[in-house]
A and B are shown apart, each in its own frame.
Chain A
Amino acid sequence: MSSGNEIIVGGHKVAHHFDSAEQEFEASKLGIWLFLCTEILMFGGLFVGYVIFHNIYPEMFAEGAKHLDWRLGSLNTVVLLLSSFTMVLSIYYAQTNQQKKTSNMLLITFLCGLVFMVIKAFEYYHKFHLGLYPGSYFSYEHAEHANLAMYFSFYFLMTGLHGTHVLVGMFLIAWLWIRSRRKEFNKDYYTPLEVVGLFWHLVDIIWIYLFPLLYLVG
């Protein structure tokens, strides 16, 4: 069924329904931007819930925030910001045909994601140890506010959903790393890097909102 005139740019075969590599790139980019919109709206629901209940029970959120360690939160913020930077660098190196550096930068990005998740796991473990579980599993005995369990519901839902995104992002970056080792990306073809990069920045930005809302706002 092929029309016989395949377009190959930068070692990549353009899908049959596109007229040019440029058209394919533009379409992918618009697609990922729309997908990011849906992500923002999805997290938006949680943020709206947070704002509403923060208005109703400000003391509860203040008490909850005390149980979080802002130092670990800040460290994670730095780690994620760094990973966004290395992600950008990997695209830059692909655009300048420095394939070795591209894959190294991807590896660093992946490791940053890993560090983030390990720190997060320590934080979770500490909470569970104290009995600060979400909702009806909450078993911490020294809570001052009657609904403190709800704060931790928000905490675990928001960071849990965000953590899931980090894991998905890490998975995608690992896949890009394998492809970059095969030298598939170059100045003419780096669409997957661009697309996953945008996703990774979104994950970063969401954390930049989560961090002050959960750790700092009292």
Chain B
Amino acid sequence: MSASHAEGKNYLNCEKGLWSWLTTLDHKRIGIMYMITVMVFFAVGGTFAMLIRGELYSAGRNIVGPETYNQFMTFHGAIMVFMVIIPGIPAFLGNFFLPMHLGAKDVAFPRVNLLSWYCLIVGAAISLVSLIYNGVDTGWTFYTPYSIETNNGTTWMVAGAFVMGFSSILTGLNFIVTTHKLRAPGMTFFNMPLFVWALYSTAVLQVLATPVLGITLMLLIAERVLGVGIFDPTLGGDPVLFQHFFWFYSHPAVYIMILPAMGIVSEIITAFSRKVIFGYKAIAFSSVGIAVVSFFVWGHHMFTSGQSEAAGILFSFITMLVGVPTAIKVFNWVATLYKGSVRFDSPMLFALGFLFLFTIGGVTGIMLATAGLDIHFHDTYFVVAHFHYVMVGGTLMAIMGGFYYWLPKMFGRMYNEFWARITFVLIFVGFNVTFFPQFILGAMGMPRRYYDYLPEFQSLNRISSFGAWTIGTGFLIALFVIIHSIRRGEKATSNPWGAKTLEWTTSSPPPHENFLETPVVTGGPYEFR
């Protein structure tokens, strides 16, 4: 396959006009539409984060009152979870590269793929309606009974999240079928890149966990509209049942967010150390293992909710088990560097940054999994810091790394390496400055979702605010780097990094059907010999 085919014809310019995008069935174009959508939502959710840190800059009122602050905190959480991190990797990078990694022409159900994008958009629009009805101040977890009695905007936000759930289900369904049925000749399961393994595990979670969120949110809407009483203690219901239902989805959802990130890191580390991945099967199976175990750990969010001691101990034990496959992955990535040939381009910097931050996120996860310790840490800033280390330090770093890594393939142009490295430094340093102090705040006992705090928490909160604004600056510059490279970047060759997976064998940007001839696979994805 050569890059010289049909000069100038690729998936970007084969059809023109907005309508051709809105009705496209090409997985690559749908991926790009997800990219734009997620970037817009990220900007909105990020703005809320900046405002939150502005309000917490010092004790007492700074810029807004408590009701408004609670809305900021809710919108930040809900947007970042449902509209940025969950669709972020699978629906954007996954959509674009899963079929290419398999040597397929498209995903199995292109129409369903487009439908999933519209579900996200419609869901987001319904969520926005909540603003007309006094907004939402429940936090993204919508805990009952508070979510039953508060502002009417909640109904709309919950309905929006319900619709967005379908987007996630449809993406997952498509990926599973594609992986099973559309692999190129010779592409056995163990010849698949690890990104595919990660997306496959994620897809299983999306398909099996999201419907439970769907029914939970539907019950919450019924509770608000009809007063059905299932979660309402005054009508004989049980508010803690909501938490069980909610976390049965939302704990696997955490892995929906992090597993694909791990996949990206596997790709980048091999490509930039030009070395076969260490322990391919261990990494592949650990993705599946994490996915399976993640269905049985939801109770660790509820150690203080009043569940029985036996349940607490059981959930603590199973949660510890998740630590093992996670540790395996980290060690294998480090071992891959050994005797490699390492280049420090921005994607690699983000991948190494991921390893650094994710390790910290992981060990603090063990602290939280320890039932006895979690009693004190639960619902404090310690938890906030922990999941930001995993979700931002992990997932967002991986998205950024993946974005730079695949930008030449997606748009056929290179980015500016110098400025990309600047964004890495700002985001990485800013991140640690923001969230490390929050571990200490949590240990000191500052609860989360606090509009106001005791004076002794002020200095650390201030450091955290400065860090957040540094991250904000970093992402702003990243936006310019990306836009500049898409418009003005140097032309990219078909394989600028010398990577071995299939997407690099076709031209940049790829043609409409990805490959001119269906590739025939004869070996593993990382055969650097």
| Complex contact flag A–B (Cβ < 8 Å) | yes
Which B residues between 200 and 251 are near A, CB-CB below 8 angstroms?
207-212, 214-216, 218-219, 222-223, 226-230, 235-238, 241, 245
Interface residue? B497 (CB, 8 A):
no
- Would A136 and B208 be within 8 Å (CB), given that A17-B105, A31-B177, A150-B235 are in contact? no
Do A150 and B237 touch across chains, with their CB atoms under 8 A apart?
yes
- Would A49 and B182 be within 8 Å (CB), given that A41-B212, A42-B212 are in contact? no
Assembled-state Cα–Cα distance A57/B169 (Å) = 34
- Report the minimal beta-carbon distance from B27 to chain A, rounded to whole angstroms: 9
Which of these, A1, A17, A41, contacts B182 with CB under 8 Å? A17
Do A35 and B173 touch across chains, with their CB atoms under 8 A apart?
yes
- Would A30 and B181 be within 8 Å (CB), given that A49-B230, A150-B230 are in contact? yes
Interface residue? A52 (CB, 8 A):
yes
- Interface size counted on chain A using CB atoms at 8 A: 41
Interface footprint category on B: 35 or more
- Would A149 and B212 be within 8 Å (CB), given that A38-B169, A38-B207 are in contact? no
- Considering only CB atoms, which chain A residue lies closest to B172 in the complex? A34
Contacts of A42 in B (CB 8 A): 211-212, 214-215
Contacts of B216 in A (CB 8 A): 45
Interface residue? B351 (CB, 8 A):
no
Interface residue? A75 (CB, 8 A):
no
Assembled-state Cα–Cα distance A18/B99 (Å) = 12
Assembled-state Cα–Cα distance A48/B246 (Å) = 13
Do B106 and A17 touch across chains, with their CB atoms under 8 A apart?
yes
- Considering only CB atoms, which chain A residue lies closest to B215 in the complex? A45
Interface residue? A137 (CB, 8 A):
yes
- Would A149 and B513 be within 8 Å (CB), given that A1-B14, A30-B181, A137-B226 are in contact? no
Mask: chain A, 31-70; 1 = CB below 8 Å from B; 0 = not: 1001101110111111011001100110000000000000
- Report the minimal beta-carbon distance from A124 to chain B, rounded to whole angstroms: 14
- Considering only CB atoms, which chain B residue lies closest to A136 in the complex? B227
Contacts of B241 in A (CB 8 A): 49, 52
26 A-B pairs with CB atoms under 8 Å apart are A1-B513, A16-B106, A17-B104, A17-B105, A17-B182, A30-B176, A34-B173, A34-B177, A38-B169, A38-B173, A38-B207, A41-B212, A42-B211, A43-B215, A45-B245, A52-B241, A56-B236, A136-B227, A146-B236, A149-B229, A149-B235, A150-B229, A150-B235, A153-B222, A153-B226, A153-B228
Residues of A within 8 A of B (CB): 1, 3, 15-19, 23, 26-27, 30-31, 34-35, 37-39, 41-46, 48-49, 52-53, 56-57, 134-137, 146-147, 149-150, 153-154, 157, 161
Residues of B within 8 A of A (CB): 14, 99, 104-110, 112, 169, 173-174, 176-177, 180-182, 207-212, 214-216, 218-219, 222-223, 226-230, 235-238, 241, 245, 512-513, 518
